[in-house]
């Protein structure tokens, strides 16, 4: 089988096989590119009074436990604490996808909002579907996307190369 025919068949069948996972990666990647522009994806970062945080971790936990909609009963319900001293802010992400932004100086709650960017990131890398799907569907899809790129470049360059070489033969 000639190289061009083989590349065309590989390109055709690989693209059909990885269409769904790659489309999910593309769409979620686009959302992640603009996550700071849309509060629906990731809440806007508020500003506290600034300076070094004076709130200790136990006080931060108590503040979060006092907010009913975030459903925090202990440290096991918290996935991440992000401290931004330059903004005087402490951000707490919870297991149920909520984010609490607290003034690092006095513990005042600045914002409570849903944080969807973590779910979108999990969809993007395939971990939302579990470890098996991440390793055996999304990882091979990425490798096969590189194969698609290679076959696509070959299919594009080959006719251009033929035109170039035929013109150079004619000028001799």
Domain carrying residue 18: 1-40+121-172
CA atoms within 13 A of residue 124's CA, in its CB half-sphere: 14
CATH of the domain at 108: 3.10.450
Residue 167 has pLDDT above 80, yes or no: no
pTM over 0.75: yes
Specify the pLDDT at position 107: 94
Token reading at 30: 């686009």
Residues 52, 5 within the same domain: no
> Which strand (E) or helix (H) includes residue 9?
helix 3-33
Residues 86, 139 within the same domain: no
Residues 137, 97 within the same domain: no
Residue 170 has pLDDT above 90, yes or no: no
Q: How many domains is the chain built from?
A: 2
Residue 81 has pLDDT above 90, yes or no: yes
Structure-model confidence comparison of residues 103 and 1, the more confident one: 103
- Cα radius of gyration (the chain): 25
Looking at the DSSP assignment, which residues form a beta bridge with residue 113? 99
Residues 136, 172 within the same domain: yes
Specify the pLDDT at position 27: 98
Q: Which of 70, 93, 115 is the last residue of a domain?
A: 115
Specify the pLDDT at position 172: 63
Residue 166 has pLDDT above 90, yes or no: no
pLDDT tens for each residue of 33-55 = 999 999 999 999 999 887 788 99
């Amino acid at each position: 089988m000639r190289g061009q025919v083989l590349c065309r068949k590989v390109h055709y069948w690989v693209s059909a096989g990885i269409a769904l996972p790659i489309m999910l990666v593309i769409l979620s990647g686009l959302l992640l590119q603009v996550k700071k522009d849309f509060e629906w994806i990731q809440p806007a970062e508020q500003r506290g009074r600034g300076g070094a945080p004076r709130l200790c971790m136990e006080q931060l936990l108590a503040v979060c436990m006092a907010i009913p909609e975030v459903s925090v009963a202990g440290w096991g319900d918290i996935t991440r604490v992000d401290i931004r001293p330059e903004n005087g802010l402490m951000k707490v992400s919870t297991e149920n996808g909520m984010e609490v932004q607290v003034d690092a100086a006095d513990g005042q709650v600045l914002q409570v909002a849903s944080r969807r960017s973590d779910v979108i990131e999990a969809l993007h890398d395939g971990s939302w579907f579990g470890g098996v799907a991440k390793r055996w569907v999304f990882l091979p899809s990425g490798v096969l996307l590189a194969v698609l790129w290679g076959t696509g470049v070959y299919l594009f360059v080959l006719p251009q190369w033929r035109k170039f070489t035929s013109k150079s033969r004619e000028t001799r």
